Chains A and B, each alone.
Chain A
Amino acid sequence: MLVISIGLLAFISQKNTPLVFKVPKNWPKPNYDFSKNPLTEEGFQLGRNLFYDPILSRDNTISCASCHLQATGFTHVDHNLSHGIDGKIGQRNSLAIVNIAWQKTFMWDGGVNHLDVQPLAPITSKVEMDENIENVVKKLNASSFYKTLFKKAFKDPIITGQKTLLALSQFVIQLNSSNSKYDKYIRKELGGEFTEQEKRGLTIFRNHCANCHKEPLFTSDTLENNGLPIDTTLNDFGRMKITQNPNDSLKFRVPSLRNIQFTFPYMHDGRFKKLSEVVNHYVSGVKNSKTLSDKLKGKPILLSHEQKIDLVIFLLTLTDNEFLFNKRFGYPLKTKNTY
């Protein structure tokens, strides 16, 4: 009996700890197919290590977290264009990683069609990590620390490109923000009491912004031309580069506005430092063109000075401190350096 119990214990201890992906109440169904990459604590911790490890870059200097910092909503702040390896400057402002289980396409131009393959873009970019996945896998296979983690997560010590990417997905897919003041207001919870100004801001938001920045995700997960005049130093036409279709000229991802207080600067090229500049763009800066979003055509957004302030005050209610300071999402406690 004792032998059986010990045997059973040994068996149980080798089993993974499954994690349940929690969909907040009244939120839509996530897009990610969890059946193909069942979440486990071991997979999450492995992905977390990979996310924070510069091993993914050519010279071991740049990690995912270099451009996606938790404290600023998992994006790179203070730089209009994000920089990567050797101090090189990219073409665009890094996107915030938040609630991506609901996302169907990735990157500003929607060029990536599945979360699992997204990391290939920054890993191979000459100005971000300048590495290739073949070499990343080689480096990981040479590390006893990672061999142990992969074995725990996938029951197989042989590290492949697929497993590396699935593990990264396991981590980033859990970076979910749904506990902002706004969320508490909607759920009528303690801490969610809106001021009159915040309520006015929400009404303005719903009247003018929510078509694209749809609640509760604050994005429609579509690509739109929001009327930004072209920056001739970059000549970035967005989606058109992917599809070769002139109808897609100047279309970029509608980003989520969650934690927008900290994700500055704004827009694909980070041209606006402040939220007030963003609001001013939509009120008086939208440039008409053939591909301008239908939602911005025809009816100008007319807001008074006070209304603009109300709107910005509302946007601050999308800050989710539980998300920004969740220790589980931070630098791993056990890394290959402490191992």
Chain B
Amino acid sequence: MRHTLFLSFLILLSGHHFAQKKQDFKLLFNAKFGNSNLILNDTYYKLNENDSIKIEVLKFYVSSIEFLNNDKVIWKEKNSFHLIDFENLKSQTILLNIPSDLHITKIKFNLGIDSITSTSGALAGDLDPTKGMYWAWQSGYINFKMEGNSPSCNTRKHQFQFHFGGYKQPFYAMQTIYLPVSNLKNNSLTIDFNLANFFENISLNQTNSIMIPNKEAMELSKKIATIFYIDEN
């Protein structure tokens, strides 16, 4: 009897193990400007008839990654915090280890850092304050950082600086993004975002420097969240 019990326990365990067979999964973030892939620093992109723009810094946090089947969460990454920095090619790919039998129809992630994490003191890894994504005189993470220049900006050296963040209402700027997934190939998924779609909605001569949590940072964070998509082709 005891043996049978032990045996069935073993079978149960191995069965469980079998169901939990894992595989690597690559999640890529790809920045575009209009029809081109974004290259930092050396290229001016056309904004409209008579204006152009150059991006010099582009980094943001992706956190709390989840896979869903319809609306049911079927997998979530533990301790899920990733800094995507376009200066660092490697950071644009998030390597996940997921069960191999997931049927994914939707992906969810947060753009930015949640309020609990933002009030948890000094953290490690991608959340280490040496990453240039932590404010000093007013605590909290910068969710999304984008800097560059454009002749439209009536500022010193025509610079614009967007540091979107804020963890406290009414300026809690983190955005939750859901994207439908189909045709998953090669255990990888590319999430595109097109910055042209962001800049066509704002006027750089009026909006060019946002470095604190405020109403504008909230509105622009919401706009940034809408430019992410998955190219089905």
Interface residues of A (CB under 8 A from B): 33, 36-37, 107, 111-117, 120-121, 123-125, 132-134, 137, 160-162, 165-166, 169, 242-244
Contact = CB atoms under 8 A, between A and B. Distances in A.
Given A133-B129, A160-B128, A120 B134 contact: yes
A121 B136 contact: yes
Contact of B136 (A114, A124, A134): A124
Which residue of A123, A125, A160 has the most chain B CB atoms within 10 A of its CB atom?
A160
Contacts of B132: 132, 134
Interface in B128-170: 128-132, 134, 136-140, 168
A114 B139 contact: yes
Nearest to A136: B130
Contact of A166 (B122, B130, B139): B122
Contacts of A134: 130, 132
Contacts of B121: 33, 36-37, 114-117, 165, 169
B89 interface: no
- List the 9 closest A-B pairs by CB distance, nearest first: A116-B121, A161-B130, A165-B122, A116-B122, A113-B139, A120-B136, A114-B121, A124-B136, A111-B138
Contacts of A137: 130
Given A117-B121, A244-B214, A125 B137 contact: yes
**Residue among B121, B131, B137 facing the most chain A CB atoms (10 A cut-off):** B121
Secondary structure class of chain B's binding surface, majority of residues = loop
A325 B118 CA distance: 36
* Chain A interface, >50% SS class: helix
Interface of B: 118-124, 128-132, 134, 136-140, 168, 171, 212-215
A162 B123 contact: yes
A111 B139 contact: yes
A36 B117 CA distance: 13
B138 A161 contact: no
A162 B168 CA distance: 23
Nearest to B132: A134
14 contacts: A111-B137, A111-B138, A111-B139, A113-B119, A114-B121, A115-B121, A125-B136, A132-B132, A133-B129, A137-B130, A160-B128, A161-B129, A165-B121, A242-B138
Given A36-B121, A114-B119, A114-B120, A162 B128 contact: yes
**Which of B124, B130, B134, B171 has the most chain A CB atoms closer than 10 A to its own CB?**
B130
Nearest to A138: B130
A121 B135 CA distance: 8
A120 B138 CA distance: 10
B134 A162 contact: no
Given A114-B119, A114-B121, A166-B122, A133 B130 contact: yes
A160 B119 contact: no
A309 B137 CA distance: 38
B130 A160 contact: yes
Given A133-B129, A160-B130, A161-B130, A107 B137 contact: yes
A121 B140 CA distance: 12
A165 B123 CA distance: 9
A239 to B, nearest CB: 11
B137 A121 contact: yes
Contacts of B212: 244
A116 B123 CA distance: 9
Contacts of A125: 136-137
A115 B121 CA distance: 7
A117 B118 CA distance: 10
Given A113-B139, A161-B128, A162-B128, 15 more contacts: A111-B138, A111-B139, A113-B118, A115-B121, A117-B129, A117-B134, A120-B129, A121-B137, A124-B137, A125-B136, A134-B132, A160-B128, A161-B129, A244-B171, A244-B215
A43 B123 CA distance: 17
Nearest to A107: B137
Contacts of B138: 111-112, 242
Contacts of B129: 117, 120, 133, 161-162, 165
A103 to B, nearest CB: 13
Given A120-B134, A137-B130, A162 B122 contact: yes
A37 B129 CA distance: 16
Contacts of A37: 121
A289 B212 CA distance: 27
A117 B131 CA distance: 14
A108 to B, nearest CB: 11
A33 B116 CA distance: 14
Nearest to A137: B130
Nearest to B118: A113
Contact of B124 (A107, A120, A162): A162
B88 to A, nearest CB: 14
B91 to A, nearest CB: 16
Contacts of A107: 137
Contacts of B130: 133-134, 137, 160-161
Nearest to A111: B138
